[in-house]
Structure 1
Amino acid sequence: MYYNQPGYPSMGSGQPQAPSKPNRLAVTGEGSVYAAPDRAMITIGVITESPNLSTAQKENSDKTAAVINSLLALGIPQNDIQTTSYRIEPQYDYENGKQIFRGYKVEHQLQVTIKDLSKTGQVIDKAVASGANFISSIQFTFSNPDAFYNQALTLAIQNAQQKAVVMARALQVTLNPVPIVVQELSQNLPPRPVPFQAMSLAQDSGVPIQPGENKITATVKIEYTYG
């Protein structure tokens, strides 16, 4: 039979010890690729004003229809022309602190997807010649953005792995090559916007559009254990 003695721990009542946590090493990695976009998205608008709402709407509708027809004539499919905004706003002047009704402003915005970048300048020219008086931006993007983002993601993981190896060597520890946590910090980026104003364009301006290259970046966080 066992009896507790002063100064000796009890063998039967001891609490189990929690397993020690492994040493962790966390790193972030970043990877980027550059690629030429193969499509563009343009927001084209028609803005009309008149003291009479019906007149403003009729003028806007006629000009918008003319813009759409000019785009169809260039070979832009109907499915690639989408209304994104249609607004009617009363307009006021202010004189001597008084609000005086001036009329109505009607704004119709179309988002046009161009799958042949060589037609980008023609699209702008024809739209302006047909009555468009507002272009908010041009956005260059890809038909398959995931392919380029996955390349950047692979480079980001490799970058994180290289950092972990360098840090382990500097610390003179043994790195477990299999990570315990892999976290994607980035997301596939939206199209790159290019500011553009249409108000000052002449109808025969021949707008030169240079899509250049888009930078696609991915970022990850990876945790390893080491001993």
Structure 2
Amino acid sequence: MSRSRYPLIAVLLLLGIALLASGVSAAENGDRMIITSATAETMVTPDRAQVTVSVQTENADVKVAQAENARMMDEVRRALESAGIALIDMKTTGYSIYPVYDDSGSLFRQKVKYYRVTNSLQVTVRDVSRTGEVIDIAVGAGANQVDSIIFMVSEDLEQTIRADLLTKAVKKARGDADVVAAASGVNITGVKEISVGGYYPPVLYENVRGGAADMKTQAAIPTPIEPGQVKITAQVTASYLIG
């Protein structure tokens, strides 16, 4: 065999491999399937809360405002820690210092009236029934703003509930596929793929604000906080092979 034929043989081999590959692909793309989607959901009482409180101070001397703010926030932290809130469950989420100007002067000659310092602390409450108590403790220790309350489901509880919901969703998807298959006169021979989704939105209450004097006056009455419920959803989309 002459050497000139080697390139031709190589080309033919490559063409053969390409044809075989295209045949496999065609077989895969030619799968007959029934595709169904199903959702399972339930309402759950949150078992976690995140409360964000702030200390805001004002003074013509920025250093005085800053020092007073630091002292008050330290008292808030100490009070919460004494009440059983772990340091790992307290996190600073904001700190700002900005001047407030006197509006009575000229626009181009405004003078600083005072400085406002704000320090925000996020507190994770692992016993949701103590949410109101935690707010009262923080306010009693010096916090003069309650910025937000978020109710949520802990990861452990969510996983337990989602496992049950996914089981129900898969059974529902298979049940729908069985009905379609029977009505179409075909049989389900296997599962090609199943995709999983799901979502639950935490309950958020924002800008729960009040003056320090008013809040401390009301502190004698425990702050009523109700977490309500959140919806946890599990979704599946299944592709069943038929024959």
What displacement does 1:124 show? 0.9
Gaps of 5+ in 1: 1-14
1:126 is aligned to 2:137: yes
- The alignment of Structure 1 onto Structure 2 pairs a total of residues equal to 212
Corresponding residue of 1:44: 53
> Identity across aligned pairs (percent)?
32
Q: Distance in 2 between matches of 1:196 and 1:163?
A: 46
1:113 is aligned to 2:138: no
What displacement does 1:57 show? 0.9
| SS at 1:22 equivalent | coil
> When you count helix as a share of all residues, which structure comes out higher?
2
Gaps of 5+ in 2: 1-18
Corresponding residue of 2:16: none
What displacement does 1:209 show? 1.5
Corresponding residue of 1:84: 93
1:27-48 per-residue CA deviation (whole Å, 9 max, x = no partner) reads 2221113333323221111122
Corresponding residue of 2:65: 56
**Pick aligned residue for 2:194 from 179, 182, 185:** 182
| SS at 2:33 equivalent | strand
RMSD of the alignment, in Å? 2.7
| SS at 1:186 equivalent | strand
Corresponding residue of 1:10: none
AA at the equivalent of 2:235: T
Corresponding residue of 1:6: none
What displacement does 1:99 show? 7.2
1:76-99 per-residue CA deviation (whole Å, 9 max, x = no partner) reads 222222212222233345566547
| SS at 1:173 equivalent | coil
Query: TM (normalized to structure 2)?
Result: 0.74
8 Å Cα contact 2:198-2:232 kept in structure 1:
no
Q: For the structure 1 residues 98 and 156, does the alpha-carbon distance in structure 2 shift closer, same or farther, using more than 3 Å as the test?
A: farther
8 Å Cα contact 1:28-1:221 kept in structure 2:
yes
What are the equivalent positions in structure 2 for 1:1-227 lying under 5 Å apart?
18=23, 19-20=26-27, 21-92=30-101, 97-98=107-108, 100=110, 101-143=112-154, 144=156, 145-176=158-189, 178-186=190-198, 189=200, 191-195=202-206, 197-199=208-210, 201=215, 202-227=218-243
Q: For the structure 1 residues 98 and 170, does the alpha-carbon distance in structure 2 shift closer, same or farther, using more than 3 Å as the test?
A: farther
Q: Distance in 2 between matches of 1:43 and 1:98?
A: 37
| SS at 2:198 equivalent | coil
Q: Distance in 1 between matches of 2:160 and 2:79?
A: 34
